[in-house]
Chains A and B, each alone.
Chain A
Amino acid sequence: MSSSDVAPRQRSIAAAPKADTGYPRWFWPSFATPAMLYLLVLFVLPFYVILSVAFGKLDPIFQTPVLVWNPLKWDPGILSFTISNITHTDGIYHAAFIRTFLYVAVSMLLCLLIGYPFAYFLARHAGRAKGLFLALFFAPFWFSYMLRMLAWIGLLQDQGSINRALENLGLIGAPYPFLAGKSWVLILGLVYGYVPYMVLPLYAGLDRIPNAHLEAARDLGASPARTFFRVTLPQTWQAILAGLIIAGLPMFGDYFTQQLLANTVGTKMIGNFIVDSLDVPIFISRGASLILVLMVILVVPIVYYLWNTTRAARARTA
């Protein structure tokens, strides 16, 4: 079961002695050209377009954004407008920024609290049912997010099953307005939507801990709790961090959960302001500047995650 029985079939990335032999130098790079062009034109260039719009001008007649390609002619007016509206307490984006960070932080924490025990169960205790549980766990990844949210709308409506159950139990007299802008419903919606992304790295991390480590800890007299806190948990810090990042990042770009489960001004997130601004031509450049601010904030966890997973994967296959 350990990696040793597959190790001879694998080869290390660092020392691939014969991998290049027999091929002309240009042979393999040419296979990468389409993908590199694709990424250049549809990923790198669009980023530059965001900059050119955010630092661009407005057409004096149509009020549509005019791109400015030359960085020397960039006008920081719109960006500084956006930033001051984020930092000042009475700014139009201030509350939404704080709210977004709060919602995402609480949701990430809940994802971890729900995801860790489940991943632990999957990796260690599911036994013969592991295959079944893995299949059921993966199912939401290919279910439509919209259908999953629609399901909750059906359950949480005024005449939905949850309200009717609570009424039948005599706990409430009138239907509870779950879908009328409740922050906690929105947070639970985010948790429901993104918890599988948390479980994935946690499961991978827990599943990779060799049984021998746990056996050694127990043989040396550690209690189960001590084994968990001194052996299992320290080996999963990386996985926890990875889970927090890959579950948290999409939440920052989420606007549809808010629109489906809360849909009030008081629960709007950054994502809502971004998509709303794209509907009105004059505000498109504001939307671009919001994207820019968001990206600057998120680039740190993104780069950290990439650096970390590359290193870990290299260590595993070496």
Chain B
Amino acid sequence: MSAQAAVGTIRRRRFRDLLTNPWGRPRFLWVIGIAYVVWTLVPVVTAALFSFNSTRSISIWSGFSLRWYLTDPNESVLHDPDLRHAVVQSLKLATGAVLISVPIGLGFALALDKWRGRGSGSSNFVMMFSFITPELILAVSLFLLFLNPFKVIGLGTSSQLLGLGLLAIPYAVIIVRSRLLSMGVDLEEAAMDLGASPLQALRRVTLPLLAPAIFASAAIIFAFSLDDFVMVKQLAKTGADQTVAMAIYGAARTAPSPAVNAIGTLMLVASTLVIALAYLVYRRSVRRQGAGFRADRDALPV
């Protein structure tokens, strides 16, 4: 009886050790880690697999084919004019969002980093406020804005671009600013001590050092704008404004076909490539500069 109790205690202690010992071999936590990744990624991988299905089903596998990408004469991504147009619209909006938000965000990050005057803190607060406000609230407020007072612009591609810009600017500011914080001012001050004007120091020292952060923010903004749904849908006017995310949504509600999985998979591959490229570039250049990732991350406001 007492031996059994002792075994019980040991078992319980072992379980507790697995849970909490920072130096033991926590197989339990490995199970959680792997289970989490499987749970988050396997459904997406199955959805991608079914884009290669030879029949119309997105849940019963009948064999491999490229029917929904290329060969189906009416409904493949290549031949369905609506899907093709959605890809073009998504790419157009994502590129536009990068072009709008990266320069504006870069300027704001530089200003916030250097400018200690009144207004610096409060304008940062307003930006972070917009960043954390639920997207639906931002989208509806812009919908009302473009519906009535800004009727001149109206709903459609231009308002979609402006809406995405609002969502994207904080990403650029946060990424560039954390790089600025970890970079320090030593090199810039050295340049100015050696006789560079403020603009020269900015152009020849600060901006080249910021290049990886600018590139990374452009990639992240591109990838997330490509898949944005709430903002883009709310500010769309006609079918011509439909993006890939909207096409997936529409089809998922009515008649899912593997062509929709195919178009989603294409976008997924595109954004993964963009992000992977940005990561590699960022890591290489930051390592070469010596400060390292950790310093940049510590400066992130998470």
Contact = CB atoms under 8 A, between A and B. Distances in A.
Given A35-B169, A67-B149, A133-B33, A9 B142 contact: no
A249 B134 contact: yes
Nearest to A120: B29
Interface stretch (A78-86, A89-97, A166-174, A308-316): A308-316
A179 B59 CA distance: 14
A47 B50 CA distance: 43
A108 interface: no
The residue in A43, A153, A295 that gathers the most chain B C-beta atoms within 10 A of its C-beta is A43
Interface string A36-53: 101100111111011001
A256 interface: yes
A278 B114 contact: no
Contact of B302 (A157, A224, A309): A309
Contacts of B40: 136-137, 139-140, 192, 195-196
Contacts of A298: 133-134, 137
A217 B16 CA distance: 16
B127 A35 contact: yes
A260 B246 CA distance: 12
B41 to A, nearest CB: 6
B112 interface: yes
A150 interface: yes
Interface in B22-47: 22-24, 26, 29-30, 32-33, 36-37, 39-41, 43-44, 46-47
A220 interface: no
A5 B97 CA distance: 37
Contact of A50 (B105, B144, B260, B295): B144
Contact of A35 (B44, B123, B244, B275): B123
A147 B47 contact: yes
B64 interface: no
Contact of A145 (B137, B142, B144, B245): B245
Interface string A1-44: 10100100111000010111111110111111111101100111
B224 interface: yes
- Please classify the interface of chain A as helix (H, G, I), strand (E, B), loop, or mixed, using the class held by over half of its residues: helix
A47 B272 contact: no
Interface string B277-302: 00000000000000110110111111
A58 interface: no
Given A20-B116, A122-B33, A225-B20, A306 B129 contact: yes
B96 interface: no
Given A9-B184, A146-B229, A148-B43, A274 B132 contact: no
B268 A302 contact: no
Contacts of A254: 136
A200 B302 contact: yes
Contact of A9 (B41, B137, B182, B275): B182
Nearest to A204: B302
Interface in A212-264: 214, 218, 223-225, 227-228, 242, 245-246, 249-250, 252-256, 259-260, 263
Contacts of B72: none
A35 B170 CA distance: 10
A201 B295 contact: no
A291 B137 contact: yes
Interface stretch (B2-10, B75-83, B247-255): B247-255
Contacts of B229: 144-146, 256
Q: Looking at chain A, what size class is its interface with the partner chain?
A: 35 or more
B69 to A, nearest CB: 15
B89 interface: no
Contacts of B29: 117, 120-121, 124-125
B142 A42 contact: yes
A11 B244 CA distance: 44
B243 to A, nearest CB: 10
Contact of B134 (A39, A148, A155, A250): A250
Contact of A317 (B32, B39, B299): B299
B37 A136 contact: yes
Nearest to A195: B40
Interface string A269-304: 001001100100000100110010011001000100
A149 interface: yes
B239 interface: no
B256 A125 contact: no
Interface in B135-166: 135-138, 140-145, 147-149, 162-163, 165-166
B21 to A, nearest CB: 4
Given A145-B227, A146-B264, 4 more contacts: A43-B166, A46-B138, A53-B144, A159-B60
14 contacts: A10-B299, A18-B189, A53-B148, A117-B29, A118-B32, A120-B29, A140-B41, A142-B275, A144-B226, A147-B248, A196-B40, A223-B16, A259-B253, A275-B140
